[in-house]
A and B are shown apart, each in its own frame.
Chain A
């Protein structure tokens, strides 16, 4: 069977690549949350491989045993209504498998939605990550600095990214540190992560948001606490503060390179509110009171510069 051969070929190719020198990004985690996800995925692949095997063996058996060319000319297949025992078997076993995977899912989902294990006793570093056109703004409210298109984080400390957008929905993703989450214009979402080692990681927007989408990458660099503090100090000392005017200019631009500032835009353009009770009301905006003074829509309104940036 040609198809089987080609499938096997592909499977071997996949294994070769999987076990090659460079593991696939998702299987090469550098932090506890990405580690949890990697383990979950591998577990699910193994479970699924067992199911595939059962189906393939049955399939091959039926095709080899019951082909017309092997039967005698006068063979008449019997009438078979079905079998309760068999049908119950292949209902119950999948239910057990699904139940098992459901438990794993609920557990791991709640794990990665909270402060990473082993880091609970440390105060998280909060970083606001906002997207506009095809760039990322990172504000460090505690440190009072802001960067564009790159983000530095200390190792061995839990990080909370607070995500939102000055435009279409984007998705903030550093696959080696954590799974992605949407950044939206009207609410704040949170990603929890931590980095175990020093390194430089690819981060990107993975939710399509228009023409410049493919280039919307940033570098996430993890460094020791000391290096991180030194870097903050350097930015504080050497970079200009981010004025409202400069920020407007940045928002209007399509692509820009990296830059750093010794103050954040949160002071004059606060982030939207987080959902009140995220566990219950993920799809409900009723808790977002539009009259709230913190919500400054003037700054979030993108339509004014849309004309200049989106005509072609």
Chain B
């Protein structure tokens, strides 16, 4: 591969500019840390941390960065298609951009945002001092970060994947995608996928084993329930991705023919494996949002969640059904009426439990006292917008009708109508809601609401026109179209909407800066008059979460304790055992990253050497004698006093 080929995307001025901004950003961070002599602090407090709250914050930081990256991709795409026969991007770059947009939004924005929130909130909400495997948690994060870095690097070195985020074979084979882009795909997703799988194991164990005394499963807050179910889905779905990606790598880099056109290879095997993972994946990013909305709506309607049991039931049913619907992604592959009908029915069935949840949320607000805070606005806007996504999902589920929608802008509109109010509004609601828990100050409400209104309105302007375009025969993934199609005006409208979304996102980012500068510190622990245990401890949360682990006797224990004037965190303070920080997960993942990077270019000896270093770290770990440390009673008293300080 020549140098020119290696850096070929950089020949496009747009992409060059974006690449330069990534590099400059990185240089600024590195220079800043060096200038302020913060490397030591940074390493000690962040890179080597095993504190679930800090890991969660790092997840969210990466997710926001990726929302920015994926958003720029989205703007570029919408700019390219805003007018017919536009020459802003050529076909190859458009293909790379929509592929990485999809990958980044789903795997490196939505997932880590959700995982970040779960890291921060779950131990607090179930009254635990930590996650089950703190060190493994750091490994998960750094493996994910390595995968994320690798995919973003593809942009600069060698070319990004260009066969769609679905990477259908044989298009994604070396015959038709000869650049290293899809090698990046298989390896970047592999790394981050392994991180996610480990998270799944970790949080299932945490939720099963570490709940506060008295908290049975049916006394657990809804967000914890949604995360438990999500992690069960992760543990069942992600191994399929691991295998599929391994086969993909073998096909692309070792000449096997699992998915090839010849020698008995089966392109449909890829489609099946991909969607057996891929459909549950969309529930992995949506169910946690359902949990967040449940918390937010109950808190700001100042009422307990309506129909708790049926909410739990419907989530369990959704999780089971999510594994039985994958073939709706290829109704048009010629399975015949029987198979299509079965998958149609299982798919439509998901609408039933989802509907149950919708009505439960609506009824939670009945007789309530609704406060329109920023998180509540996101939760409220979710209801009407997601319903459009849901009903168009049922329309798509009808196999016959899907013959007309498949691969069109109608589909693109549908899944954004599900993913944006579902996932993005969900994590934004959670982020505004729990921010004071993380940092001890609130985000400014005015800016928060302004951002919300920009996003909620522009969202509809961006995506509603796409339903109409789809019904007019506009296929997705086309980098351009001719003026005679008449698609121009609605595409322009959609582009204007996308600009509005960008403004909303900019406001959200500016709000971080503004609030950090201007909002009062040391907020009281229970800023929103919350219902679950995370509001019982201080903001920001001390390393050990709870000085005294609370006892629980019913759902919303904290809420009732407040009513009855009880302090559920009172009790005798004892020394607390905590794990030690360790830099090993960071360095291990660094070498994993190197191994994967060399593997992308088939530099096997270098890749093997890097992998040996990784195994070396693992071997070393197994001989390590690290029993953690104790925080003394005096130290806890000291911390508690200062946190309670000027309240």
Contact = CB atoms under 8 A, between A and B. Distances in A.
A273 to B, nearest CB: 13
A61 to B, nearest CB: 9
A310 B268 contact: no
Given A101-B394, A214-B480, A171 B332 contact: yes
Given A87-B356, A213-B91, A283-B335, A202 B368 contact: no
Contacts of A207: 168, 407
Interface of A: 2-3, 6-7, 10, 14, 17-18, 22, 24-27, 34, 36-37, 40-41, 44-45, 48, 51-52, 55-56, 58-59, 62-63, 66-68, 71, 75, 77-83, 86-87, 90-91, 94-95, 98, 101-102, 104-106, 108-113, 167-169, 171, 173, 175, 178-182, 184-187, 189-190, 202, 204-214, 275, 278-280, 282-283, 285, 290, 297, 300-303, 306, 310-312
Contact of A26 (B95, B334, B384, B473): B473
Given A25-B472, A80-B304, A181-B332, A285 B400 contact: no
Nearest to A288: B264
Contact of B266 (A90, A111, A179, A186): A186
A1 B442 CA distance: 26
Interface in B258-273: 261-268, 272
A44 B410 CA distance: 14
B266 A306 contact: no
Contact of A55 (B358, B399, B400): B358
A80 B268 CA distance: 50
A176 to B, nearest CB: 8
Interface in B122-176: 162-164, 168-171, 175-176
A24 B468 contact: yes
A101 B398 CA distance: 8
Interface residues of B, number: 106
Interface of B: 91-92, 95, 162-164, 168-171, 175-178, 261-268, 272, 301-304, 306-310, 327, 330, 332-341, 344-345, 348-349, 351-352, 355-356, 358-360, 362-363, 365-372, 380-381, 383-384, 387-388, 391-392, 394-395, 397-404, 406-408, 453, 456-457, 460-461, 464-465, 467-468, 471-473, 475-481, 486
A6 B454 CA distance: 12
Nearest to A188: B334
A189 B335 CA distance: 9
A280 B342 CA distance: 12
B95 A210 contact: yes
22 contacts: A3-B453, A24-B471, A62-B368, A67-B372, A71-B369, A80-B303, A81-B304, A105-B341, A105-B397, A109-B340, A167-B170, A169-B170, A175-B404, A179-B332, A179-B401, A180-B332, A180-B406, A185-B267, A206-B475, A213-B91, A282-B336, A283-B327
Contacts of A7: 384, 460
A17 B468 contact: yes
Contact of A80 (B306, B310, B408): B306
B453 A303 contact: no
Contacts of B304: 79-81
* A51, A66, A168 pick with most chain B CB within 10 angstroms: A168
Given A77-B301, A91-B352, A109 B400 contact: yes
A106 B171 contact: no
B480 A168 contact: no
Contacts of A102: 341, 344-345, 348
Contact of B407 (A185, A206, A283): A206
B282 to A, nearest CB: 19
